Amino acid sequence: MAEGKKLGGAGLRGQVAGKTALSTVGVSGSGLTYRGYDVKDLAENCEFEEVAHLILKGALPTQAELDAYKTKLKGLRSLPQPLKEVLERIPADAHPMDVIRTGCSMLGNLEQEDTTVMGAFPTQEEAIDRMLACFPSIICYWYRFSHDGVRVEENTDDESIGAHFLHMLRGEKPNELHERVMNVSLILYAEHEFNASTFTARVCASTLSDIHSCITGAIGTLRGPLHGGANEAAMDMIEKFTSADHAEQEMMGMLERKEKIMGFGHAIYSTSDPRNAIIKEWSEKLAADVGDTVLYPVSVRCEEVMWREKKLFCNADFFHASAYHFMGIPTKLFTPIFVMSRLTGWAGHVMEQRADNRIIRPSAEYTGEDLRKVNPIAERG
Ligand SMILES: CC(=O)SCCNC(=O)CCNC(=O)[C@H](O)C(C)(C)COP(=O)(O)OP(=O)(O)OC[C@H]1O[C@@H](n2cnc3c(N)ncnc32)[C@H](O)[C@@H]1OP(=O)(O)O
Ligand SMILES: O=C([O-])CC(=O)C(=O)O
């Protein structure tokens, strides 16, 4: 697989389905850029809110713009009471991706985007900022209420979205390391060209539907284990391994049985996913911080075995599993964090689609029956 991934065949692979100025994926083999900036550069030098500003408003902010943006987002964290009531009715064993999907949809009922003039979307930026600010509140409000019986305070004084999320989740402010890792993680997950969930959002946008419908559809698409759900699936796998040797033994068995191993491979990248090296480094730092001697070495061995045996590499999701785990984040909240971040990419693409729209409607190759007549019902069977 490493030598030239074939971009063709099923799944629209390799076909250009539209234009974007938001990102490039794998253009120079394995690179990822957001509006011309290398993701590594952004992850090293920016906060998530700067990257959100870049994606949604077109440029990295000045200090004054960033301060104003963060203050604005901070003021939009509260949830409307009817939304809280809906969240309180969702059981603890619901899938958190279903919760955030429902939360987004309910928000769209309570705070509808203005779509009264067809094709004009005068409140889209307001609606996007609101979702960016309150998605962490939706996730944590439901999680803390259903699991701990606590009605969480959605208005923390945390400056960043990542710290705000961890604060609500745990009831205390995160340390600097955890806040930094959240920033990096949210930056890495923010945008990725025409991936499946973003394409869903663009298809929905192309019908001139409202922004909450576009994002709700995208959340449903991200949920699957072949896409965003892979970080949770990877965690479920690695936590079963008791040592690096055990991991190797089990992985070899899975490969022999031709099982899919979550967190590996990619539809576009051919030799590596540039986000992996970055989150792997932070996972190693977090492992040292918590004194881990199992999960990180297990993860590294999985990476070595997959490359040695199949030339398959870790995608963005694999080392996110251990990194989030070391920060004490429950596995079932891994993919909702992805939503908190990818919302920026989805929304950027919706605005881009709306600005130069033609309804997305591909064709199918028909493989069914030739033309035939309807038999009277008494003669069928
Ligand atoms: C943030 C993200 O969404 S990143 C993606 C997250 N998803 C995962 O981690 C799920 C696991 N990975 C996969 O299922 C796939 O690699 C995908 C969905 C990401 C990409 O799918 P495709 O582009 O169809 O894969 P690709 O064409 O490279 O597959 C080539 C071969 O490698 C195999 N392969 C690919 N990934 C894996 C894997 N993770 N484990 C085992 N085998 C794999 C395929 O089965 C295929 O084998 P075949 O030729 O015998 O059929
Ligand atoms: O691009 C893809 O197909 C999947 C992916 O890595 C992402 O959405 O981040």
Identify the residue whose C-alpha is closest to ligand 2 atom 2: 195
pLDDT confidence of 3, banded at 50, 70, 90? very low
266 alpha carbon, closest ligand: 1
pLDDT value at residue 30: 58
The answer to whether the beta carbons of residues 322 and 300 sit under 8 Å apart is: no
307 alpha carbon, closest ligand: 1
pTM, two decimal places: 0.96
Q: Is the CB of 195 under 6 A from ligand 2?
A: yes
Identify the residue whose C-alpha is closest to ligand 2 atom 3: 195
Distance 227 CA to ligand 2 centre (A): 7
Q: Residue 375 to residues 138, 358, 369, 371, 378: CA-CA distances in angstroms? A: 53, 40, 15, 13, 8
What number is the average pLDDT over the span 181-207? Answer: 98
Lowest mean pLDDT among 15-29, 43-57, 227-241: 15-29
pLDDT confidence of 8, banded at 50, 70, 90? confident
Residue with tokens 């604060």: 167
pLDDT value at residue 5: 66
Q: Residue 135 to residues 99, 145, 149, 288: CA-CA distances in angstroms? A: 11, 15, 20, 31
Q: Kind and range of the H or E element at 285?
A: helix 274-290
304-354 pLDDT per residue, tens: 999 999 999 999 999 999 999 999 999 999 999 999 999 999 999 999 999
Q: Is the CB of 277 under 6 A from ligand 1?
A: no
For residue 317, indicate whether it is catalytic: yes
DSSP, res 264: B
Burial of 141 (0-12, 13-18, 19+ CB in 10 A): buried
Q: Is the CB of 342 under 6 A from ligand 2?
A: no
Joined together, the tokens standing for residue 169 give 């989740």
What number is the average pLDDT over the span 180-194? Answer: 98
Distance 109 CA to ligand 2 centre (A): 29
Residue of 167, 317, 320, 325 with catalytic role:
317
Residue with tokens 């710290």: 163
Residue 28 has pLDDT above 80, yes or no: no
Domains (range + CATH), the chain:
23-225+332-355 (1.10.580.10), 230-327 (1.10.230.10)
Residue 1 has pLDDT above 60, yes or no: no
pLDDT confidence of 9, banded at 50, 70, 90? confident
Distance 21 CA to ligand 2 centre (A): 17
Q: Residue 244 to residues 32, 284, 292, 299, 328: CA-CA distances in angstroms? A: 30, 15, 13, 8, 22
Joined together, the tokens standing for residue 148 give 């701990």
What number is the average pLDDT over the span 8-20? Answer: 91
Query: Which amino acid belongs to residue 112?
Result: Q
The answer to whether the beta carbons of residues 34 and 50 sit under 8 Å apart is: no
